[in-house]
Amino acid sequence: MFVRGFHDLYYEETSWPAIDAADFVERLYRFLKSGGILGVVNHAAGPGVSVDVANTLHRIDPGIIRSYLISAGFEFVAESDVLRNLGDDRNKPMSDPSVRGKTDRVVMKLTKPAS
């Protein structure tokens, strides 16, 4: 499970250690056993927005997560609406009092293909 952290792969601040997103995802793929399942939960940003919103909103476009993981070799299995909140316009930081604890979140299931 990778919960509410995918956006942090792109977070940039002097007090935060730099993360090589490509290396992180490659290692995640390499260390997950063949046939293993990866669950991802993250605060959703609007479709088509840049990863730069990780610095201001602490969110990420679910399409970026999905395409990035598929590019690394994972197979997409399903997405759930269990943590969706259509009342969240996705334009406020996840820590904003009006959405804190009730952001629109993406929940995905991916697998590493069995070899």
Overall domain count for the chain = 1
Question: Is the pLDDT score of 41 beyond 90?
Answer: yes
pLDDT of residue 1 exceeding 80:
yes
Please write the tens of the pLDDT for every residue from 44-98: 999 999 999 999 999 999 999 999 999 999 999 999 999 999 999 999 999 999 9
Label residue 17 by pLDDT band (50, 70, 90). Answer: confident
Range of the domain at 107: 2-111
CATH assignment of the domain containing 41: 3.40.50.150
Query: Is residue 15 scored above 90 in pLDDT?
Result: no
- The torsion region of residue 44 among left (phi > 0), alpha (psi -120 to 50) and beta comes to beta
HSE-CB for 33 with a 13 A CA cutoff:
2
Q: How far is Cα 76 from Cα 83, in angstroms, rounded to an integer?
A: 18
Joined tokens for residue 92: 């406020």
